[in-house]
Amino acid sequence: MTVRQIRMFGDPVLREAAAPVTTFDRELRDLVRSLTATMRAGAGRAGLAAPQLGVPLRVIVYDVDGRAGHIVNPRLERSGRTVVADEACLSAPGVWWPRERSFSAVARGRDMYGKPVTVRAIAMLARVLQHEADHLDGVLFIDDLPAEDQRRFLAAIP
């Protein structure tokens, strides 16, 4: 499948809420495959959301610690326990920033064929699922940072 260009911070599509997927067809399967190929095209890539390819649909892919897959129309349940760790975004390559996230999460949705899927995640996979689900709501991972950190983060983007 085709590796596509990732939209960068500043692109308005990253601030739009993505629409739910209602049709589970070949076009959706092609999108999942393109997301996966694009995510895997470089080192250190752990997840990607459809809006990062300019497609405003609720689809994410992930590949963390030997667990890989995709979720269409994900709904997340986050744990109360949080942890701070460095986080990055493919839409702001090369910049890492400490970010608080829930230590564990459960994601429920569908696969590309419309079958129910549940992913129970801890640590890095939970972080990736939360990060990518945020993209589906037009939320960037710097949004919860203090204003000064946001300015420093944006200044660090190459």
Tell me the per-residue pLDDT of 20-76, one tens digit each, with 9 for 90 and over.
999 999 999 999 999 999 999 976 689 999 999 999 999 999 999 999 999 999 999
What's the confidence (pLDDT) of residue 1?
66
CB 151 within 8 A of CB 29: no
Task: Tell me what the mean pLDDT of segment 104-117 comes to.
Answer: 98
12-156, superfamily in CATH? Peptide deformylase (3.90.45.10)
What's the confidence (pLDDT) of residue 86?
92
80 against 113, higher pLDDT: 113
| Domain edges within the chain | 12-156
pTM of the predicted protein model: 0.94
Catalytic residues: 132
Confidence category of residue 102, pLDDT binned at 50, 70, 90: very high
